[in-house]
Structure 1
Amino acid sequence: MADFFPGRADGQPGLALFLNAGDPPLEVLVDVLVALDALGVDCVELAVPFPDSVTDGPVIRRSAARALAGGVGLPETLAFVARTRQLLRRTRIALLADWRFSLKDGAPDELARRVADSGVDGLLVHGLPPRLRPAWQAAVEAVGLPVVGTCYQGVSTPQTMAMAARQATAYLYLVAHYGRSGTRASNGFASLAATITSLRGLTNAPIAVGFGVTSRADVAAVAAAGADAAIVGSATVATVERSLANRSDVAAEISEFVCSLQQPAPATNS
């Protein structure tokens, strides 16, 4: 199984970025992923674009609309991963697919095989109905596909958190607060510490925190709360949006943004 956040061993917080496949266009996105890999970004959550997400704010919704207008769906996303994954030495790809828009009409075992065969390192199924979870769990286990589990601070019941923790084999995504992406909890990330401590006893998977993470200070705060990694979504997508609007180099713009998030390298004695 891939270690999604190997930097934890050095005391550095892991970093995951969210992007929609097709925004920027796939021929540009490959350069973005190669640049992120060179910068040591641990993971890209690559979403198969889908419309009208109730959990996403306007930035990510506009991104999905641009990608869908470009004709990117599940087949195009999997083909992109298949030809791009071999270019990456460090960065893992966690695929996010919406059940209703991308997976509803397929059999779980066939879809899980297609996803695994593309070379992705993990799968997060968005909006999966509870009645279908056993079938999907069996399907991904059968093909050895690591799972990204998800739970929500302050909303998920203890039973839901325990189930998500048990099923997570890639990493456990703890959403910092219930709401739309691009927003943050008024009390910051320190209040997550007790939840993270509790989850530690339920899973061996690393714990990553997202929603409201936009700066180096936020990444540090997430790490201080005990998480293994921070997930940066809307701020990453907003960088893409500005670059596309300005017709600038998307890979260069995102690289600059990532450098602003990363912890400075420790000083060495000369």
Structure 2
Amino acid sequence: MRAASGAGDAGAGFFAGRRPGRPGLAVFVNAGDPPLDVLPDLAAMLDDSDVDCLELAVPFPDSVTDGPVIRRSADRALAGGVTLPAVLDAVAALRPTLRRLRIALLADWSHTVKGTDLGDFARSVAGAGCDGLLLHGLPPRLRAAHYEAADRAGLPLVTTCYAVSGPATVAEAARHASAYLYLVAHYGRSGTTAAPDRERLGTVLGRLRGATRAPLAVGFGVRTGADVAALEALGADAAVVGSAGVARIEQALETGRDPVEEFASFVAELRRPTSHHRTNEGTHT
């Protein structure tokens, strides 16, 4: 079994290239949207385009935390027959071709993992070459087993909390983050939420900084390069962008344009802090 590349390093590999003026960047994509055979080209483009992390979701239907852009994307991928084994096979095939891009797999407990031994699941994710795992919708009673299974597999974890989460939730997320801690800027469905409350985020980031060695990434409401730069100024190590980029993939597919080229254009905009381009929707998770 191949240990994930970020194992044992408190997630440093995910955003190791960040520096002043160059904040970390993670982008969300549903595996299979664009079609899974396009993933190698998409990943290669991200690897060449100053992106640190691909948050690659195993598609699942009817997400209660996602807005229409992410839901339509998942539905397209599911209609194409995308499954967990297909996604892991795709990651295993492209991993040797990547120089610096990290892959954090997002999987939904109910749709993808339920009924599978957590140890077997963690080993399969790590063995495919994924650098981290974000497990969505895991029942609280199974969290301890999940943490233990990931640790045994050498699989770094992405943990999550909200800017308004209670102290116990924040402490648990900080304690178990080993890939990065994903701070969700506010409640609401992805792509339908308002801009982040920067004052609150700055306060929460300051508290988290003293509670974990893992990088701190912020998502929800991140649409432009200016948004990414603003999060860096608040103390975030990275920004996570979802629906805004997925919307560009959707537009490309609808109009017959190359989704990889369209997404490359979007990434270039994110790396230009003065860009004022905005899509109609926000970001994932």
Structure 1 length as normaliser, TM-score? 0.95
Q: Which runs of 5+ in 1 are unaligned?
A: 265-270
Separation in 2, partners of 1:187, 1:214: 11
- 1:18-167 superposed matches below 5 A: 18-154=28-164, 156-167=165-176
Question: 1:40 is matched by which residue type in structure 2?
Answer: D
- Identical aligned pairs, as a percentage? 60
**Contact 2:103/2:132 (8 A) holds in 1:** yes
The corresponding residue for 2:209 is 200
Per-residue deviation, 1:224? 1.2
Dislocated runs of 4+, deviation >2 Å:
7-11, 183-191
Q: What does 1:236-251 align with in structure 2 at a 5 Å threshold?
A: 236-251=245-260
Given candidates 218, 225, 228, the residue that maps to 1:216 is 225
Equivalent residue number for residue 173 of structure 1: 182
2:122 and 2:149 in contact (8 A); partners too: yes
- Partner residue in 2 for 1:267: none
Query: Match of 2:280?
Result: none
* AA at the equivalent of 1:152: Y
| Unpaired segments ≥5 residues, structure 2 | 7-12, 274-285
The question of whether the paired residues in 2 share the 8 Å contact of 1:190 and 1:221 is answered with no
Q: Give the RMSD, CA atoms, in angstroms.
A: 1.2
Structure 2 CA distance, aligned partners of 1:95 and 1:159?
25
TM-superposed CA distance for 1:185, in Å, is: 3.5
In 2, the alpha carbon distance for the partners of 1:117 and 1:225 equals: 36
Q: Is the 8 A contact 1:35 1:255 kept in 2?
A: yes
Q: Give the Cα–Cα distance (whole angstroms) in 1 for the partners of residues 64 and 122 of structure 2.
A: 25
Task: Write the distance in 2 (CA, Å) between the matches of 1:258 and 1:31.
Answer: 15
The match for 1:231 is 240
- Residues 190 and 224, structure 1, Cα contact 8 Å, conserved in 2: no
Map Cα deviations across residues 209-244 of structure 1 (whole Å, 9 max, x no partner).
001101011111111111000000001100110011
Q: Deviations over 1:177-226 (max 9, x none)?
A: 01111133456434300000000111000000001101011111111111
Q: Deviations over 1:106-152 (max 9, x none)?
A: 00011111111000000000000000011111100001100001001
Cα pair 1:50 1:64 within 8 Å, conserved: yes
Tell me if 1:262 matches 2:244: no
Deviation at 1:258, TM superposition (A): 0.3
